[in-house]
Structure 1
Amino acid sequence: MNWNGNDKVFRTYFHGKKKQDKEKVRCVPAEKVKDQEGHTFEEVRDDGFFGAVLNPGYIDISFDTKEMSDAMFDILDSQSLHCLELSNPKNGHIHTYWKKPKDWKYKDGEDITLACGLIADIHSGSTFIPLCIDGAKRFPPEYDETDENGDYDEVPKFLYPVNTNKKFWHMRAGEGRNSDLHGYILVLWTQLQMSKDEVRRMYKEIINPYILAEPLDERELDTIMRDDSFQSIENDEVVPIESFYDGRTFLTDVFSDYMIEHAHVCKISGRLHVYENGIYVYGKDKLYHRMLKYDRRMKRNNKAEVYEFLWSEAPEIDGGMKPQYVAFENGIYDIINDCMMPFSPEFIITNKIPWNYNPTAYCESTDKMLDNVSCHDKDIRYLLEQFIGYCMFRSNVYQKAVILVGSGANGKSAMLRTIQAMLGTENFSTLDINALNDRFSTSLMYEKLANIGDDISDEFLHGNQVATFKKVVTGDRIKAEDKGVEPYEFNPYAKLIFSCNDMPRIRDRSGAVKRRLIMIPFNAKFSPDDKDYDPHIEDKVQTRESIEYLIRISLNAFRDVIKENKFHESSATNETLKSYDTENNPIIGFVTELDEGVHPDDPWKALIGQPVRVTYDKYIHYCDSSGIHRMTISTFSKQLSLLYGIKSSVSIIDGKSHRVYTKEKQ
């Protein structure tokens, strides 16, 4: 073939000269190249050393090994690409020439990793490209294809440079290629904005047959390229990176507006959130990750500027958080209407349960566990199910906390761990009841579905501890603080669940805490000597099958709470709470002891006609002997009035006037 150069690719040609480089003979220009007119191909073609300079709109992508050159040649042929290819007859290394794309922003260089996994040198501009070295000519071309208009292709995406540590060239089975190819999808999208179809085609038609040492079988390749591998590629969105810059100047407002529109950045409870995998998540790290996902070139100061802009401009959307919607791995479940819906940023949800919602799930082990820990009391079991369902409801509107009460080996801890497994580690905190108001502890309940404290302390609770407990249970606004961050306020929706052997005493003169407590007795005793003892029961009830069943029955039970606007009543829990009230309230305990069982249903009758001073002295003795803090006589009398409707009035005893207790008129 008689080749006369290629004026479409090459601007001009230059005489060269020999340069000995170690054992390698090189061709370097024998005259000034930059901005020079040079010569025609005919004027240099008979030289032993000569080369060319590319036209401004063209790029040279070359390969310095015979193996990669052969792979590239096979790719050109299999894909029917339109380019010029010239090869070195001595070593088989090839150069490929392409039109420069409009979005090309890459610098020339050597040993550059390309998207398909090949390693190449890239040259453009006034670089001198040898065409003949010591008489060895790199022409005529073995491959020179143009389209129907006589044009060459722009550089295809699979030959774009990427910044990655992945090494796919001749990677073999057992070297992590499946996981690397899976993770590489996000690299291709964030850096090159490659669509799902482009990635799939490159994996199937280029990387698998020509780059890997041994091709993956079709089943493996399909697994890597399954739809959920592309969840990070949002609707094949192509990010308009160039619009974020004016020349080299980063446009903070343009990029920030793009984040608000496409990443759905917003403020919830005064904190910046971004929509990710079906829910809204908070944290500066989450926002920075999304920024880099859109533009890998962002500098540290750019990210800081965007964050400040978002802080001032992102919309506040607290009002749109409807607690009836629960996010699961397979979509959004509507508790009230008992239906599933696809993920959408319109659902303002900040927690995802890490399991599927399965309306037909069943697990015998879960049934057995719930029956056993509730001692086959259907009321207790149903109440447990209702409260577990309540944990997935992002509101504390029903104003109840649960305490599992009972001593040793009764399933309390196993029950709590199962609830934790259901909720997922991101969705619960583990504060003790006496730590709820600690300075840096309150923030741990932010956007948590539950606070689950196992084997809590029996220390006396009073003051701010009790106040914070009541606020969390009712969902009232509380103040939180993280180290090094300005304090903030939020409305908690974490359900308080505790377990204990002995209940802590709580200062509760108004009865507000008592009204908010559900005390569930755990009276079972599990022993290896039991006929049906199963040492592996906890593992069995934390399987996918078991958790999905627990989710189903708990949400069904909680739906009744919504309908009836209250939790199920249980005589056993009511008795447990009544017994605790007697132990916790020194007034009730004192009056019950004073009555000595004469009036079991109305122990206050023992006070009628008793002198106030004498009764108070007996109360002091009761407190001192029980280690209980005393009330003043006026507070003592107020509590009697509040609890029993008893007041003091003047009465004549032995000819003297005394204040005695009488029943208030109804």
Structure 2
Amino acid sequence: MTFVEYEKGKKHAGKNADESETSDSFEDCGIKLTDKDLVIDIDDVPKEVIHAIIQFFNIETQTVWTDRGVHFYFKKPENFKGANGISALGFPVEYKHIKNTKSVTVKRNGVLRQIDNEGVRENLPEIFQVNRKIKNNLLGMGESDGRNDALYKHKMAVYSLKDTVKILNFINEFVFAEKLPNDEISTIARDEAIDTKDMSFDTIAKSLVNQYYVRFYNNVLFFRDDEGKFINDENMLKRKIHQFLDQKDSRNVEEVYKQLLLMAPIITLDDDESFEIHFNNGYLHEGNFYEMESKTFTPYHIDIDYHYDAEAVKVVDDYLNHLSNNDEEYKKLILEVLAHTLVINKEFKRMLAKFFIFVGDGGNGKGTLLTIIRAILNRKNCSGLSIGDMADERYFVTMQGKLANLGDDIQDEPINNKQMKALKNISTCDFVSTRQLFQQATEVEMTLSLIFTSNHILKSWEKGDSYKRRVMWLPIYTKPAKKEKNFIQKLTTQKALEYWIRLIIEAYKRLYKNERFTTSKVVEQFNDQYHEENNNFLLYLQDFERNDFLHMKPKQIYDEYEAWAEENDLNAQSKKQVKDTIEKNYGLVVKGKKINGTTQRVYVEIDKNDEEVQS
């Protein structure tokens, strides 16, 4: 937070006022608002009512207690407008944001106001969202003031909110001067079907946005399911619309859906922001686990409890020992590959910049691993495209909002340039083009992990360093001594899943701490050998030393290599690949050099002081 000094005894700053990260040096000051802050100013109700609001509606955002009430600090919704209004709780509130208030008082006459949950900014709850349908101030109403009729009208204005019954009961308990008897409030608060026949499509859409917290992210709609988790399921959302409508014509459903696409709040993230991953008992964010409930929008929910001391499960340990052939460093690396799926910070994932291929003979547990990952992450968080399908932008939409793409049993075909581009772009969270059926293509960033299995070592058209840096081949060639009945079920019991999550989050924290993957000699040697075989010119170089190529013409070298490749039934690499490999391995480049009185283009040592342009 930034504090700005106020003029003595006043509630505003002077010209060129001093600012500080603390309030210690100021007698009077305020909290400087940012474009992301929205302050709800309440001063019309007693503080015991404010405490009840906090308790009833579980408000844990930054709270500053004022002389007459409270300032709640929330995240400002996109395109927010408003200065005051009647809240869903039936009393007036003021909205302070950077367009109408530069700073908000926090210290007067040397006394700092009480601040709870300092630095926390929750999403704006529905009880404080602007609702122009609410016309009447219910505060202090009694029986003779038309209280019952006013409450019924208020119900009609807030009926689309998730906690309507809770809101009405709160108003009766804390806002009215005289409470309704229990039977009367029960009658008014009773959940009744709403007649939508005379409602416009946009009004219906607004109601659905509020009722299901519909949000627009990555060009698709998310909404809360019956368990309160955000999901992206077009068919299910249209079914919700169909249930809501009185006139259940499919054209009406489509029209309301179109309105939702235009009206749902847009979720955007800056480059330095990332979503939380919600678990049953907390959330994971930026390298840490927080054991508390979060109301923030996220497309990611994992239906498992995380316990740092979850009991070890022998069948899980045995399976990991089988995959890693009892190599501890390799076991750590495998768990870090699984933890990579939980890294959704774009900058950090770009730094790691990997995609993974588990390779080995059939029947050795590779496919089982993908099944386990799906069980851990939740199938809704996983897609299953092959490398070939990933090169088609029409399939990209299935990867949006996912934690992992798990491609099983990849075919024995070389990775072509189009496929390689998709692999590299996604592994570094670059923009990729995606297109839903019958729609224009759009550019999106994806943060999911790419994990594949294959019985074959795949060649690639590209041989360069960018591919080498991004791919990680993970060999699994040990086979189980015998097939075990119900093996996958044993690996995915609730107890086993909680142990998996313990191991994976340990690996996740290790990735954040070390900022790299654990080095495994087994994996390192396998990848070195793979790239030698993928670029067979590296095999050819094993019979030569640097000086063997000095002052030789490129054509002469290539002709001799091409003859060697043909003799060994290998496909020769391109001339460019040969040239790049010589430069990388021997530090030699092609330049003009006088030999026997004539200038010839030959390989020479790289000279940083040489101004001659390299070929």
TM-score by length of 2: 0.61
Contact 1:402 1:517 in 2 (8 A): yes
| 3-state SS of paired residue (2:472) | strand
CA, structure 1 residues 516+618, in 2 after alignment: closer, same or farther (shift >3 Å)?
A: same
Distance 1:550 1:605, change over 3 A: farther
8 Å contact kept, 1:241–1:295: no
Return the index of the structure with the highest Cα Rg. 1
- SS state at 2:479 partner: coil
Residue 519 of structure 1 aligns with an amino acid whose one-letter code is W
Q: What is the aligned counterpart of 1:285 among 219, 232, 235? A: 235
The one-letter code of the counterpart of 2:373 is I
Whole-Å Cα distance in 1 between the matches of residues 501 and 399 of structure 2? 22
Matched, 1:460 2:403: no
Offset at residue 298 of structure 1 (A) = 4.8
> What's the secondary structure of 1:338's corresponding residue?
strand
**Paired residues for 1:68-87 under 5 Å:** none
SS state at 1:489 partner: strand
Q: Which residue of 1 aligns with 2:387?
A: 433
Answer whether contact 1:406 1:521 (CA < 8 A) is retained. yes
Counterpart CA distance in 1 for 2:597 and 2:298 is: 73
State the distance in 2 between where 1:352 and 1:264 align.
Answer: 16
Report the Cα distance in structure 2 between the residues aligned to 1:511 and 1:256, rounded to whole angstroms.
51
Matched residue SS, 2:524: helix
Moved more, 261-270 or 275-284: 275-284
Alpha-carbon distance in structure 1 between the residues aligned to 2:189 and 2:607: 75
Q: Which residue of the other structure, out of 582, 586, 594, is the alignment partner of 1:640?
A: 582
Distance in 2 separating the partners of 1:269 and 1:439: 15
Over 3 Å counting, the alpha-carbon distance change for 1:462 and 1:368 in structure 2 is same
1:340 equivalent in alignment to 2:291: yes
Q: Deviations over 1:494-541 (max 9, x none)?
A: 21111223321123344111111222222423233xxxx755543321
Partners in 1 of 2:599 and 2:396 — Cα distance?
Answer: 54
Structure 2 gaps, min length 5:
1-158, 167-187, 609-615
2:220 corresponds to: 271
Provide, for residues 94-140 of structure 1, a one-character-per-residue CA deviation record: whole Å limited to 9, x for no partner. Answer: xxxxxxxxxxxxxxxxxxxxxxxxxxxxxxxxxxxxxxxxxxxxxxx
Match of 1:571 among 521, 527, 534: 521
Distance change >3 Å, CA 534–CA 251, structure 1 → 2: closer
Alignment of 1:368 with 2:318, yes or no, is yes
Instruction: Pick closer, same or farther for the CA change 1:377–1:484 going to 2, 3 Å.
Output: same
Seen in structure 2, the aligned counterparts of structure 1 residues 622 and 334 have a Cα distance that, compared at 3 Å, is same
Q: Which residue matches 1:251?
A: 200
CA contact (8 A) 2:202 2:259 kept: yes
Q: Which residue does the alignment assign to 1:75?
A: none
- Render the CA deviation track for 1:330-389: whole Å, top value 9, x for unaligned: 553446332222252xx2211322333344323111111112210111111111111212
Paired letter, 2:305: N
Deviations 1:284-343 (A, max 9, x none): 323323334545555434333322222222221122895462223455344633222225
CA distance in 2 between counterparts of 1:555 and 1:274 reads: 27
Letter in 1 for 2:579: S
Q: Distance in 1 between matches of 2:204 and 2:586?
A: 66
Structure 2 Cα separation of the partners of residues 488 and 652 of structure 1? 54
1:507 equivalent to 2:461? Answer yes
Asked if the contact 2:424/2:467 (under 8 Å) is kept, the reply is: yes
SS in 2 for 1:440: helix
Aligned equivalents of 1:389 and 1:494: distance in 2? 12
- The correspondence for 2:554, drawn from 584, 597, 612, is 612
Partner of 2:67: none
Separation of aligned partners in 2, 1:284 and 1:338: 31
> Which position in structure 1 is the counterpart of 2:472?
518
Equivalent position amino acid for 1:490 in 2: V
Residue in 1 aligned with 2:490? 540
Distance 1:294 1:651, change over 3 A: closer
Which of these residues, 403, 420, 429, is aligned with residue 475 of structure 1? Answer: 429
Distance across 2 between alignment mates of 1:433 and 1:340: 37
Given that 1:402 and 1:520 are in contact with CA atoms closer than 8 Å, whether structure 2 keeps it comes out as yes
Counterpart for residue 113 of structure 1: none
- How many residue pairs get matched? 419
How far is 1:626 from its partner?
Answer: 4.0
What are the superposed Cα offsets for residues 378-433 of structure 1, whole Å, 9 maximum, x if unpaired?
11111111121221333544321112133344332222222222223222222222
The DSSP-based 3-state class of the residue aligned with 2:299 is coil
Q: Does 1:581 align with 2:531?
A: yes
Q: CA deviation at 1:473?
A: 0.9
Distance 2:547 2:190 in 1: 80
Partner-residue secondary structure (3-state), 2:394:
coil
Match of 1:554 in 2: 504
Which residue identity is paired with 1:328?
Answer: F
Aligned to 1:355: 304
Distance 1:238 1:331 in 2: 33
- SS of 2:391's partner is coil
1:419 to 373, 378, 382: 373
Length-normalised TM-score, structure 1: 0.57
Equivalent-residue separation in structure 2 for 1:578 and 1:403 (angstroms): 15
CA distance in 2: counterparts of 1:480 and 1:515, whole angstroms:
25
| Cα distance in 2 for residues equivalent to 1:360 and 1:637 | 54
How far, CA to CA, are the matches of 2:243 and 2:189 in structure 1?
12
Distance 1:334 1:466 in 2: 30
Quote the Cα distance in structure 1 between the aligned partners of 2:455 and 2:546.
Answer: 30
Contact 1:480 1:490 in 2 (8 A): yes
Amino acid at match of 1:353: I
AA paired with 1:410?
A: N
Letter in 2 for 1:477: F
Residue 498 to residue 350, structure 1, CA distance change in 2 (3 Å):
same
Q: Within 1, Cα distance between the matches of 2:265 and 2:360?
A: 48
SS at 1:512 equivalent: helix
Q: Is the 8 A contact 1:608 1:661 kept in 2?
A: yes
One-letter amino acid of the counterpart of residue 397, structure 2: S
Paired letter, 1:618: E
CA separation in 1, counterparts of 2:261 and 2:320? 47
Kept in 2: contact 1:326–1:333 (CA 8 A) = yes
Cα distance in 1 for residues equivalent to 2:369 and 2:387: 18
Deviations 1:539-562 (A, max 9, x none): 321222112111111011111212
Partner residue in 2 for 1:631: 574
Question: Which amino acid in the other structure matches residue 340 of structure 2?
Answer: Y
* RMSD between superposed Cα atoms in Å: 3.3
- AA of the residue aligned to 1:663: E
In the TM superposition, residue 635 of structure 1 has moved relative to its aligned partner by 5.8
Q: Which amino acid aligns with 1:336?
A: G
Q: CA deviation at 1:639?
A: 4.3
Distance in 1 between residues matched to 2:438 and 2:459, nearest whole Å: 34
Matched-pair contact (CA < 8 Å) for 2:535–2:573: no
Q: Distance in 2 between matches of 1:305 and 1:408?
A: 50
Aligned partners of 2:270, 2:573: CA distance in 1, in Å?
A: 48
Q: Which amino acid aligns with 2:278?
A: A
- Aligned equivalent of 2:209: 260
Gaps of 5+ in 1: 1-188, 197-235, 596-602
Provide the rounded CA distance (Å) in 2 between the counterparts of 1:237 and 1:370: 55
Alignment partner for residue 388 of structure 1, among 334, 338, 342? 338
Provide the rounded CA distance (Å) in 2 between the counterparts of 1:572 and 1:491. 33
Contact 1:508–1:585 (8 Å) recurs in 2: no
Instruction: State the percentage of identical aligned residues.
Output: 22
Instruction: Tell me the distance in 1 between the aligned counterparts of 2:263 and 2:164.
Output: 30
Q: State whether residues 387 and 558 of structure 1, in contact with CA within 8 Å, keep that contact through their aligned partners in structure 2.
A: no
Native 8 Å contact 1:400 1:474 kept in 2: yes
Which is further off, 500-509 or 622-631?
Answer: 622-631
Q: 1:467 to 1:333 in 2, by over 3 A?
A: closer
Q: After TM superposition, give the deviation of residue 466 of structure 1 in Å.
A: 0.8
Q: Distance in 1 between matches of 2:369 and 2:464?
A: 32
Give secondary structure in 2 for the equivalent of 1:568.
Answer: coil
- Asked whether the 8 Å contact 1:455–1:499 carries over to 2, the reply is yes
- 1:239 touches 1:294 (CA, 8 Å); kept in 2? no
Distance 1:436 1:366 in 2: 31
